[in-house]
Chain A
Amino acid sequence: MSRPPRLAEWLLARSAHPDDRAAMLGDLAEEYAERGPDARRWYWGQALRSIAPNLAARFAPSRHLDRADDPGAATTMQTLGTDLRYAVRTLRRNLAFAALTAATLALGIGAATIVYSVVDGVVLDPFPYPEPGRLVGVGPEYPRLGRELSFWEVISPAEYLDIRAQSRTLERVVAWDMGNRQIAGESDAPERVFSAFWYGDAFPTLGVAPALGRGFSAQEVERGERVAVISHRLWLRRFGGDPGMVGRAVSVNGDPYTVVGVMPPRTLVYGTDLWLPMWATPEQVPRDARQFQVLGRLRAGATLAQANAELATIARRVEQAHGAEFKEYAGWRLVGRTWTDINVSMLRPAALVLLGAVGFVLLLVCVNVASLLLARSAGRRREVAVRAALGASRGRVVRQLLTESVVLALLGGALGAALALWGTTALAAFLQTLPLPIPGDVRLNPRVLAVAAGITVAAGILFGLAPALEVTRPDVQGALKSDGGGSIGSARRHRMQRVFVGVEVALALVLLAGGGLLVRSFLRLQRVDAGFDARGVLTMRLTLPREKYAPAAIAPFFQQLAERVGAVPGVRAVAFGSQFAPMTFQRAQLEIEGRDAAREGQLPVAFLTQTSDGYFRALGVPLRRGRVPYERDGDQAQPVAVINEEAARRLFPGQDPIGRRLRASKTGRWFEVVGVVGTTRNAGLDRPPQPEVFSSVRQALGQNNQLFLLVRADPAAGDPRRLLPLVRREVRALDPDQPVYAVQTVEEAFATAAGPRRAATLTLTLFGLFALALAAVGIYGVVSYAVSERTREIGVRIALGARAGQVRRLMVRQAMLPVALGAAAGAAGAVALGRAMGGILFEVRGSDPLTLGSAVALLGAVALAASYLPARRASRLDPVAALRA
């Protein structure tokens, strides 16, 4: 036996008086069980139609008060009860109106709350640290390298010490790096965890205290002692929340470590679960070995501008001291930005556009609700006039109408709150699955809900009241005599409605055009050629612990693994490399043999990628000239390099690159260019391709212990992810303790890079369509109202020989005037929005005429349809009936 629909049951239970609840639900359940196939529909009908009487009965005050015999002695509570019941009855009589209004309110409140909650949790205030505005990241900008400001793997230990020693406005500064480690308890299998390595104690800089224990002491950092801090979630998951965790021994990459602290909940830096002290010795590391991030906390009273002025001075001093040796220091700058800015800068433009859009939607909802209420007030004029004539005081009538508005507004508000709660929860769960740099802690923001609900409910009440006040002006006689047409009040109302339609159309056009621009950008992006065959390639990363694998053992391990995986059925090709498009993060400044860097305006920079043999073949990157590295290019042979066409174009303009030599550091070996391959979209589909230099893993001398395994599946084998267990088995066969992580297909990697763009596109498009629907409702309402008000006039026209087509044209033409005015205003707004969106558009101009034209055409078509329906009704009027009406 099936259960009654849960949601319907819930609605009933919420609305019913507590005394009736059980009996009522029981009755319906009993009858539901006896009914046939239509039981569900019947149950929903019962539930929906019962809400209004339930609420009326529930809030009827006489449940608790004795009924007063003398109606003149009605108490306020009793009046309220009467008003409520009357309001519910009135709304029920016009269910379509009530449902439309409540749904509009609900969608407006829900959308505003969801969007704001997400933007707040992801962009505005994403970090759980105290005073996040004082947490500052420091990064360099090198005009000589043509390298923009960056904050990732950009500072060397020597530079960090310069900053720490000379800065006064940053009271705490810490340098750090990230990587992967394998952690295990006393006797269990190791697990790969994302780790951060700290040059100092991270806690005071972040401004949080450890949940247990402490951070790293200066001595532990200097001596590189084997101590560790673990995350709260790792502590709970892996160590069962052991209260005696501090002092416990763990193994990290096979070495014994002592846990000295546990982070507080939610304090994750980029999802790192393990913190270790970094034992960098600046005197041994070259000044240009830049692999660290720098994080600082502003001193109380100091501003970011002061910190930046100070950082500029520090950069000048470094340039004077070391500029002769390190050319890139010429004109370099050190810049501080808030940590929040740094991490959400790529999301911010999309987020701000969405915030703006949702503000528009909210405005639109208010206008629409006002318009609906206004249209309705036409029908109420006489009713109210009758009541006034029968002796109802103005206050009493206003209160009655106000009650109605409030009931409607509360209904919409409650539905909106439910929608917001549901949407935020669903989105929060979804965000947790995305690889975002931030905790992604999204929760319903009650303040926003209150504000959104307050605005819309206030709009509902205000406009519910406006006709009430108009209607209850002392002109009772006029209203009684009026048949609705021709009175002054109605003219004003009609004018107001047309203004509303104009505003709605303008807002809808802005949203539609904005959504259209994003859709066009997105379609363009879909068509971008990645430069290689990105389909059907499974990738995963392995980090071989240095404690276990000597540098010389790294390439052979991967070679062996590639051979084993290559033999797995369903695998067409296998390769490995330090990065692949678009997962590129290692780039370096190059030196080209025979060229004096000091005389060049811009120093050459390229992605540096180590590859296995067969890397280009497996990915489908075409070889344009020369050859790729092969087996004879061993670790003792002359190092060779392959460059992409972009590098050939930029580094060797008008020259033959084959045979030229380049190197990535002043002391490193020279690599001879032996081949040129096609350019891939190595920085993501929406970024211009970058120069890239490939060398053989064999000749990297084991410098890189973290490599990606790239597995191309046989197209006939279907989803490449199905190969994962087989690949894992081969890894385990070689080293049972070796974890595999960062599993994704190349296509997924591209999609992830486009994730924020896709979310913005989808949301704004939905908003645009919602706005379009609201505008259509508004136009339909206005024309219907005009038709009903001018019934007699239309009757006369038809009686005098006007044809149906003429009547239709008349009604439609009049409706289109405000639409046209609104569209003109909206077009101006759309162009302004497009300009503001420039940053998130791709190969589409903000003022793209095609997009704007399509939006106008769509809106125009919908507006025509919305006005045509009631206009057709007008043209079919029976003149005799119309004249009598």
Chain B
Amino acid sequence: MTDRFYLGEFEQVVLLAVARLAGDGYGMTVRREIERRTGRAVSIGAVYATLDRLERKGLVSSREGESTPERGGRARRHFVLERAGAQALRRTQRMLEQMWADVELGAPRKAGTS
């Protein structure tokens, strides 16, 4: 894996949620954390699809956790941020900051006159 790749938007969001939850991150908490902070409805399927991808890239890792009756006896899967994940977040953040530096957007341009 090269050092020169940046995270997609939803990947960042999910990684940040895992980071915020600091060890208490599993599917349900990650999903809720994103919904609460972004105000955006997020489906559990999208969360898992992204977590799977992040895990394959080595940015997060997961372990099987406890199962409870209200889960129908199904085990939790806990996710924690890996070093590579933290680096990827930093790198993306730096990249964005560099891109944002000194940007003046002004008033939004009116819709096209093509």
Q: What is the CA–CA distance of A23 and B27 in the complex, to the nearest angstrom?
A: 7
Contacts A27-B26, A27-B76, A29-B74; A63 near B44 (Cβ below 8 A)? no
Query: A15-B45, A24-B48, A30-B28 known; A67 and B72 CB under 8 Å?
Result: no
Separation of A16 and B75 alpha carbons in the complex (Å): 16
Q: By the criterion CB–CB under 8 Å, are B48 and A16 in contact? A: yes
Contact: B76 with A23, CB < 8 Å? yes
Q: Is B105 an interface residue (CB 8 A)?
A: no
Establish whether residues B45 and A54, one from each chain, have CB atoms under 8 Å apart when the complex forms.
yes
Chain A residue contacts of B57, Cβ below 8 A: 67
B77 at the interface (CB under 8 A from A): yes
A56, B56: Cβ atoms closer than 8 Å: no
- Smallest CB separation, A631 vs chain B (Å): 75
> In angstroms, how far is the closest chain B Cβ from the Cβ of A379?
16
Binds A, one of B15-23, B63-71, B80-88, B91-99: B63-71
- A57 close to B49 (CB less than 8 A): yes
A359 within 8 A of B: no
Considering the complex, give the chain A residue whose CB is closest to the CB of B73. A26
Q: How far is the CA of A60 from the CA of B53 in the complex (A)?
A: 9
Q: Can you name the residue of chain A whose Cβ is closest to the Cβ of B49?
A: A57
A62-B56, A884-B113 given; A46·B27 CB < 8 A: no
The docked-state distance in angstroms from the alpha carbon of A681 to that of B35 is 70
Instruction: Tell me if B56 and A67 are in contact (CB < 8 A).
Output: yes
Which chain A residues numbered 388 to 428 have a C-beta less than 8 Å away from chain B? none
Q: Which residues of A contact B32 (CB under 8 A)?
A: 31
Task: Give bound CA distance, A134 to B42, whole Å.
Answer: 64
Interface presence of A551 (CB below 8 A):
no
Minimum CB–CB distance from B71 to chain A (whole Å) comes to 4
> What is the bound-complex CA distance between A30 and B27, given in angstroms?
10
* Binary contact track B15-55/A, C-beta < 8 Å → 1, others 0: 00000000000111001100000000101111011001100
A50:B45 contact, CB within 8 angstroms: yes
- B1 within 8 Å of A by Cβ? yes
Determine if B74 and A49 form an interchain contact, defined as CB atoms under 8 angstroms apart.
no
Do residues B77 and A50 form an inter-chain contact, with CB atoms below 8 A? no
Residue from A30, A50, A69 in contact with B71 in the complex, judged by beta carbons closer than 8 Å: A30
Distance of A483 Cα from B112 Cα, bound (Å): 12
Q: Which of B94-114 contact A (CB under 8 A)?
A: 111-114
Chain B residue numbers with a CB within 8 Å of A483 are 114
| B71 engages A53 (CB within 8 Å) | no
- CB <8 Å contact, B72 and A20: no
A46 touches B56 (CB 8 A): no
Of the listed residues A23, A25, A26, A29, the one surrounded by the most CB atoms of chain B closer than 10 A to its CB is A23
Q: Which residues of B contact A31 (CB under 8 A)?
A: 28, 31-32
Residues of chain A within 8 A of B52, CB atoms compared: 17, 19-20, 57, 63
| Distance A53 CA – B72 CA, assembled complex (angstroms) | 23
Q: Find out whether the CB atom of B112 lies under 8 angstroms from the CB atom of A884.
A: yes
A23–B1 CB distance below 8 A: no
With A25-B72, A62-B56, A67-B57 already in contact, the answer to whether A16 and B114 are too (CB < 8 A) is no
- Evaluate contact between A53 and B46: CB separation under 8 angstroms: yes
Give complex CA distance A854, B114 in Å: 49
> Residues of B contacting A1 with CB < 8 Å?
70
A27 to chain B: which residues have CB within 8 Å?
A: 26-28, 31, 44, 71, 76
Contact A16 B45 (CB under 8 A): yes
Measured in the bound complex, the distance between the Cα atoms of B47 and A67 in whole Å is 20
Q: Is A51 an interface residue (CB 8 A)?
A: yes
When C-beta atoms are compared, the residue in chain A nearest to B46 turns out to be A53
**What is the size, in residues, of chain A's interface with B at 8 Å between Cβ atoms?**
35
The residue on A at minimum CB distance from B32 is A31
A817 within 8 A of B: no
Measured in the bound complex, the distance between the Cα atoms of B27 and A19 in whole Å is 13
A884 CB contacts on chain B under 8 angstroms: 111-113
A30: contacting residue among B1, B41, B70, CB under 8 A: B70
| Interchain nearest-CB distance for B37 vs A (Å) | 17
Complex Cα distance, B108 from A44, in Å, reads: 38
In the assembled complex, the Cα of A28 lies from the Cα of B53 at a distance in Å of 20
In the assembled complex, A305 has its CB within 8 A of some CB on chain B: no
A715 to chain B, nearest CB (A): 54
Residues A49 and B45 in contact, CB atoms below 8 Å apart = yes
Query: In the docked arrangement, what's the CA distance between A1 and B71, Å?
Result: 12
Q: Assess the B70–A24 pair: CB atoms within 8 A.
A: no
Contact A33 B49, beta carbon cutoff 8 Å: no
- In the complex, which residues 469-521 of chain A have their Cβ closer than 8 Å to any Cβ of chain B? 483
Does A52 sit within 8 A of B, measured CB to CB?
Answer: yes
Within the complex, the shortest CB–CB distance from B22 to chain A, in Å, comes to 18
State whether A25 and B53 are in contact (beta carbons under 8 Å apart), knowing that A50-B43, A52-B45 are contacts in the complex. no
Contact A24 B71 (CB under 8 A): no
Structural contact, A50 and B28, CB atoms closer than 8 A: no
Please measure, in the bound complex, the distance between the C-alpha atom of A31 and the C-alpha atom of B57, giving whole angstroms: 28
Q: Which residues of the other chain, A, contact B31 by a CB distance below 8 angstroms?
A: 27, 31
Q: Is the CB of B44 within 8 A of A50?
A: yes
Q: How far is the CB of B16 from chain A (nearest CB, A)?
A: 19
Residue A22 is within 8 A (CB to CB) of chain B in the complex: yes
- Kindly supply a per-residue 1/0 record for chain A positions 144-176, scoring 1 wherever the CB is within 8 Å of any chain B CB and 0 otherwise: 000000000000000000000000000000000
CB proximity of A21 to chain B, nearest CB, Å: 9
Q: Check A25/B43 contact, CB under 8 A, given A69-B2, A884-B113.
A: no
**Residues in chain B near residue A54, CB distance under 8 A:** 45, 48-49
Q: Is the CB of A69 within 8 A of B1?
A: yes
Q: Are B74 and A22 in contact (CB under 8 A)?
A: yes
Cβ of A27 to closest chain B Cβ, rounded Å: 4
Contact A51 B67 (CB under 8 A): no
Q: Contact between B77 and A23 (Cβ–Cβ < 8 Å)?
A: yes
B11 to chain A, nearest CB (A): 13
B75 interface neighbour in A17, A23, A51, Cβ under 8 Å: A23
| Cβ contact within 8 Å between B56 and A29 | no
Q: Are B45 and A30 in contact (CB-based, < 8 A)?
A: no
- 6 A-B pairs in the complex with CB atoms less than 8 angstroms apart: A12-B45, A20-B52, A27-B31, A27-B71, A29-B70, A63-B52
Mark B residues whose CB is within 8 Å of A: 1-2, 26-28, 31-32, 41, 43-46, 48-49, 52-53, 56-57, 67-68, 70-72, 74-77, 111-114
Since A46-B44, A67-B57 are in contact, a sample of 12 more A-B pairs with Cβ atoms closer than 8 Å, ordered by chain A residue number, is A20-B48, A23-B74, A23-B77, A26-B74, A26-B75, A26-B76, A46-B45, A50-B46, A53-B45, A54-B48, A57-B49, A60-B49
Binding site for B on A (CB under 8 A): 1, 12, 15-17, 19-20, 22-31, 33, 45-46, 49-54, 56-57, 60, 62-63, 67, 69, 483, 884
The 9 closest A-B pairs by CB, nearest first: A50-B45, A26-B74, A57-B49, A49-B43, A27-B27, A26-B71, A27-B28, A23-B77, A53-B45
